[in-house]
Amino acid sequence: MRTREASFLLGISRQRLLVLLAQGRVKGADKKGRFWEIPVSKSGMPVIIPARRGPKGIWHKQETKVPQMIHVNQHNIRDNIGKPPEEM
């Protein structure tokens, strides 16, 4: 199958199909001279191999914030129960 027919079946432009072919993402595709030979699956459609996403960008890294913890001495609070404010 040629690129024009395959791009029509896949519903993408011919140029996008050429990019996928150059990346090696069309299963079993082979270039003979100037033309691509694209095999079809049992369903009559070319098989496109899904791509992986690239590395995460480094342009928007946020500094990690140190969690702020308040340590409360519970035994001191228990001792203060019932005492008037002047004694604390």
Question: What is the residue-level pLDDT of the chain in tens, covering all 88 positions?
Answer: 999 999 999 999 999 999 999 999 999 999 999 999 999 999 999 999 998 888 877 777 777 777 777 777 888 778 888 888 776 6
CA pseudo-torsion sign 80, 81, 87, 88? positive
Backbone dihedral region for residue 11 (phi beyond 0: left; psi -120 to 50: alpha; all else: beta): left
Name, in order, each residue with C-beta under 8 angstroms of 88's C-beta and a sequence gap of 6 or more: 80
3-class secondary-structure state, position 37: strand
Q: What is the pTM of this model?
A: 0.59
Name, in order, each residue with C-beta under 8 angstroms of 48's C-beta and a sequence gap of 6 or more: 10, 20, 25, 26, 27
Domain-wise residue ranges, the chain: 1-50
